[in-house]
Amino acid sequence: MVARIATGEITEELKPKSGRTKSGKAGSLARAKSLTAEERSEIAKKAARARWES
């Protein structure tokens, strides 16, 4: 199938983005606006620690 798409033999039809994707992006933007720089920094540090520990 990938080869057929690459050669133009068939076209790939992409699904429209779901409501979950749209609402997730909107929610993350709203959350980012509500957090202070210090809170965002703490979240980022916690995530970095988790990545290095695993």
Each residue's pLDDT, cut to its tens digit, for the chain (54 residues) gives 889 889 989 888 888 878 888 888 888 899 989 999 999 999 999 999 999 997
By C-alpha distance, which of 19, 20, 2 is closest to 11?
A: 2
**What is the tally of structural domains in the chain?**
1
Q: Which domain covers residue 52, as residue numbers?
A: 17-54
Instruction: For residue 46, give every residue at least 6 positions away whose Cβ sits within 8 Å of its Cβ, in sequence order, or none.
Output: none
pTM, whole model, 2 decimals?
0.49
pLDDT of residue 54: 72
pLDDT at 40: 93
Residue 9 counted as domain residue = no
Instruction: Report if residue 33 sits inside a domain.
Output: yes
Residue 7 lies in a domain: no
Contact 5, 12 (CB under 8 A): yes
Counting every residue written for the chain, the total comes to: 54
10 is written with which tokens?
Answer: 């068939």
